Structure 1
Amino acid sequence: MGLFSFKKKSNSNQLNWKNIDSTEDLKQAFEASKDLPVVFFKHSTRCSISSMALSRFEKDWNSTTPCTLCFIDLIANRPVSNALAELTGVEHQSPQVIVVKNKEVILTDTHNGISASAIQNIL
């Protein structure tokens, strides 16, 4: 495990991430956006910028926001990331957040532009 590897935290502020490990998981989450918005967070476990963006997002996120948080590990699940790019028409970046509501992209951002408060404001 590298210095910036994603590791689930044991503290009480841990977010309830749904890991997206297959294209089937991805399709189900995308379809579920008809009922509840979905926030896809694409994270590279080998990138310090991605780790900082993830940490900042988790620190700033208000867990009462009505949505599903989906986590995609880009190193372990690159085909899932590619499938998300195809489904949404949003070019791959890392780190990247794609917010989907009613199967439509309503926000996308990358790197230092990823903002929990901006996402929560549109939800």
Structure 2
Amino acid sequence: MSFFNNIFGSNEETNSSSKINWNQLDDLKVIDEAIALSYEKPVILFKHSTRCSISRFALKQFENEYNFSKEQMEPFFLDLLNHRNISNEIAERFQVAHQSPQLIVVKDGVAIFSSTHSDIEADVLNKFV
């Protein structure tokens, strides 16, 4: 099983091995904080299902490719299974249909980009910095 865990990750999510210093989207107030920050720099919202192997794969690939500093971009992570209400609020506020996994870029309080599943790539973020 360790072979599959290396490829897809284990069922238990840990962001401790990530090189991204994620802000956790674990409260509705954090959305307001993310919006406020988006007026200073681009904000990314990564929506992730911890029970989905496709989502785990997309997250691991994204984390491996991500090479932005906190000065360039602010990353936020949402565990969908524990915070579906926050995902629903994100969909409503930014008028972006819910998907999982999903990457949303917010600038000046508006969602300016969204990608899902295998279309999630860190390289695309270069055009927003």
TM-score, normalisation: structure 2: 0.86
> How much has 1:36 moved relative to structure 2?
1.4
Answer whether contact 1:5 1:51 (CA < 8 A) is retained: no
Answer whether contact 2:31 2:90 (CA < 8 A) is retained: yes
Question: Alpha carbon RMSD of aligned pairs, Å?
Answer: 1.6
Answer whether contact 1:98 1:109 (CA < 8 A) is retained: yes
2:111 to 105, 111, 117: 105
2:53 alignment partner AA: S
2:15 to 8, 14, 19: 8
1:72 to 74, 78, 82: 78
Residue 55 of structure 2 is matched in structure 1 by 50
Equivalent runs, 1:81-96 vs 2, <5 Å: 81-96=87-102
Answer whether contact 2:24 2:78 (CA < 8 A) is retained: yes
Identical residues among aligned pairs (%)? 39
Q: Where in structure 1 are there 5+ consecutive unaligned residues?
A: none
Q: State the structure with more CA Rg.
A: 2
Whether 1:119 and 2:129 are equivalent positions in the alignment is: no
| Deviating 4+ runs (over 4 angstroms) | none
